[in-house]
Structure 1
Amino acid sequence: MKHNFTVRQGALDGVEAFLSVAGHRNFRKAAAELGVTPSAISQAVRTLEARVGAALFIRTTRSVGLTEAGERFLSRAKPAFEELVAASEVARDLGQRPTGLLRLSVPPAVVPILLEPLIASFCRLYPEVEVEIAASGELVDLAAEGFDAGIRMGQFIAADMVAVRLTPPLPLVVVASPDYLDQRKRPERIDDLRGHACLRMRRSDGSIAPWPFVDGNRAVEAILSGPLIAHDYPALLGAAIRGVGLAQVPAPLAEAPLADGRLQALLAPFAVKTPGIFLYHSGIRQVLPKLRAFIEHVKYRGT
């Protein structure tokens, strides 16, 4: 059976006054400690006693003592109240300086392109921040999964997210290994791809992504076929390097294998640019200092 539990309004009223009086065994000293009048302390305690339904103090003209109910209330209320104060201090600390656990949802392709060169320097600058990277091609619900932010290519970010640009627009390049091209005619036009083994990406919604191009002022989406379907760009790139087929990947990801000759670029006149890579989060109000520091660090290092 499901129960709904709520904290009654005013349930904590008077607890701090009670603890102070119990500690000093004196209403005037408790009032001085809390910066209020003795009458205000007396009223707070009386209200608490009425709500509890029992007298908590034995008062005489010369002394203040605890009743049995007061002793039991003190034994439970004091550690609970101290824990609440400590929790407030921890939360305040997180809201004032970069500290705590920073959880990021990141596609595997972005780790070598953007994050690997930056994480080490960020951790040195902010030693009180722990960075956790969850590398996944899935578009996760940040709040439900407990992430501070995500990093994705711009075309995959929902419109209701706050997006922060991390890179300029990125071209998508078609690449193939020299071994593959030795066995097949090099494609010169978009239509030539239909005679090639084209390695494709499955989107998080289950569909297979077409290859986008531009032909003059015309946008073209090529529906292709091939021996491999992967869920991330690094898998496509690795297969292309091994001669499995052609792959279309973000240019920075292919930079090293293009430079050392493991891959060759194809169809450059038809390359399309993606919006680039963005960090996204749920809203300005939820940007704690740890995330704000990370955003500024990545933007600064990327300039």
Structure 2
Amino acid sequence: MKNGLHGTGLTELNAVVAVATHKNFRAAASELGLSPSTLSHAIAALEKRLGVRLFHRTTRSVALSDAGEDFLARVKPALATLAEAMESVDAHQKTPTGTLRINASALVARRILMPIVLEYLRRHPDVRVELVAEDKPVDIVADGFDAGVRLAGSIPRDMVAVPCSGDTRFIVVGSKKYLRARGVPQTPADLVEHECIRYRMSNGTIYRWELSRSGEELAVDVKGRLTLDDDEAVVAAALGGAGLAYVSAWNVDDALAAGQLVQVLGDWTPPEPGVCLYYPAHRHASASLRALVALIRERHRPARAETHARG
């Protein structure tokens, strides 16, 4: 066994723990930021060095062998001890350094995150921040990000989430010119009589407007001649009188204040939890990430500053 472990690194040992936890190579690979084939080769190479099979594999399942159970029972506590040692050493690092990679939707990056990032850079001159703004769903672990920023309701369950904003609302708006010509809808059923600006999501589906009141929840497949895939284009179309639009209030607060747009169906668009910075619960947070979390808590102090995300 001693000879079999020669050349074995933390990657292989963490791979065993991840596969045993997920019972699935693809999910374990995503957690570790590896491709499934790379993970499979790492496990196979370790088994070859050890001279035993750690997992029983079929096309539908992955399960620990008896040898694998024993190996995991001994390795897992050792890895936990190593992680604690690394965390203890890292805690002594007073000045955050290195590159912090963050992923956020374009609107959140522009309206919520940029002021935080600029203050963070001012306080921590030895840190570089790479902020990637994109609206498609992202696996921050697989794509190599330290953290993401998204609406609370869209954050995976296995992440730690730190609130960055107050509640937000998605609302229905139209221009005064359009509403004078077509009337003001009083209920969601009235939307069938209106031109609605539809939104195509990154996966190709048309977004259904999510409306709710007093426990009643609707997902309305609105009709309209104009379909767009960009939030700013949707707002521009609404300003131009093309129809009603369902948008984030953050995107139209200036237009509402100026009277260029008018909110309708307000009692059907209640507030919902805002955006959170999130990062993997299983991964040790670097000094740079901890400093960003501290800044966010300083700027935004809800009753519960940090929680595990829910769906």
Q: TM-score, normalised by structure 1?
A: 0.64
CA distance in 1, matches of 2:242, 2:92: 49
Q: Describe the shift of the 1:225–1:296 C-alpha distance in structure 2 as closer, same or farther (beyond 3 A).
A: farther
Kindly provide the CA deviation profile for residues 175-202 of structure 1, in whole angstroms up to 9, marking residues without a partner as x.
1122322321121211111122222333
Q: Paired residue for 1:239? A: 237
Contact 1:137 1:231 in 2 (8 A): no
Q: Describe the shift of the 1:234–1:274 C-alpha distance in structure 2 as closer, same or farther (beyond 3 A).
A: farther
Q: Paired residue for 1:302? A: 300
Q: Describe the shift of the 1:224–1:148 C-alpha distance in structure 2 as closer, same or farther (beyond 3 A).
A: same
The 3-state SS of whatever aligns with 1:173 is: strand
1:253, CA displacement in angstroms?
Answer: 2.4
Q: Paired residue for 1:119? A: 117
Kindly provide the CA deviation profile for residues 23-59 of structure 1, in whole angstroms up to 9, marking residues without a partner as x.
xxxxxxxxxxxxxxxxxxxxxxxxxxxxxxxxxxxxx
Q: Paired residue for 1:198? A: 196
CA distance in 2, matches of 1:94, 1:227: 60
Contact 1:112 1:253 in 2 (8 A): no
Kindly provide the CA deviation profile for residues 212-251 of structure 1, in whole angstroms up to 9, marking residues without a partner as x.
1123331122111223334453332232222222111222
Kindly provide the CA deviation profile for residues 146-194 of structure 1, in whole angstroms up to 9, marking residues without a partner as x.
1111111122222222222222332221111223223211212111111
CA distance in 2, matches of 1:246, 1:158: 31
1:7, CA displacement in angstroms?
Answer: 9.6
CA distance in 2, matches of 1:277, 1:132: 19
Letter matched to residue 243 of structure 1: G
CA distance in 1, matches of 2:264, 2:126: 46
Q: TM-score, normalised by structure 2?
A: 0.63
The 3-state SS of whatever aligns with 1:143 is: coil
Contact 2:95 2:124 in 1 (8 A): no
Contact 1:163 1:279 in 2 (8 A): yes
1:285, CA displacement in angstroms?
Answer: 3.4
Query: Equivalent pairs: percent with the same residue?
Result: 33
The 3-state SS of whatever aligns with 2:141 is: helix
Q: Paired residue for 1:144? A: 142
For residues 71-110 of structure 1, the aligned pairs below 5 Å read 97-110=95-108
Q: Describe the shift of the 1:279–1:246 C-alpha distance in structure 2 as closer, same or farther (beyond 3 A).
A: same
Kindly provide the CA deviation profile for residues 61-103 of structure 1, in whole angstroms up to 9, marking residues without a partner as x.
xxxxxxxxxxxxxxxxxxxxxxxxxxx9xx9699653111111
Rg bigger for which structure? 1
CA distance in 2, matches of 1:94, 1:250: 42
Q: Paired residue for 2:80? A: none
Letter matched to residue 233 of structure 1: D
Kindly provide the CA deviation profile for residues 99-130 of structure 1, in whole angstroms up to 9, marking residues without a partner as x.
11111111111123202332222211111111
How many residue pairs get aligned? The number is: 220
Q: Paired residue for 1:216? A: 214
Letter matched to residue 257 of structure 2: A
Work out which of the residue numbers 290, 293, 296 in structure 2 matches 1:292.
Answer: 290
For residues 164-183 of structure 1, the aligned pairs below 5 Å read 164-183=162-181
CA distance in 1, matches of 2:287, 2:240: 44
Structure 1, unaligned runs of 5 or more:
1-5, 12-87
The 3-state SS of whatever aligns with 1:236 is: helix
1:283, CA displacement in angstroms?
Answer: 2.0
For residues 30-49 of structure 1, the aligned pairs below 5 Å read none
1:275, CA displacement in angstroms?
Answer: 2.7
Q: Describe the shift of the 1:150–1:94 C-alpha distance in structure 2 as closer, same or farther (beyond 3 A).
A: farther
Work out which of the residue numbers 277, 281, 291 in structure 2 matches 1:283.
Answer: 281
Structure 2, unaligned runs of 5 or more:
10-85, 302-311
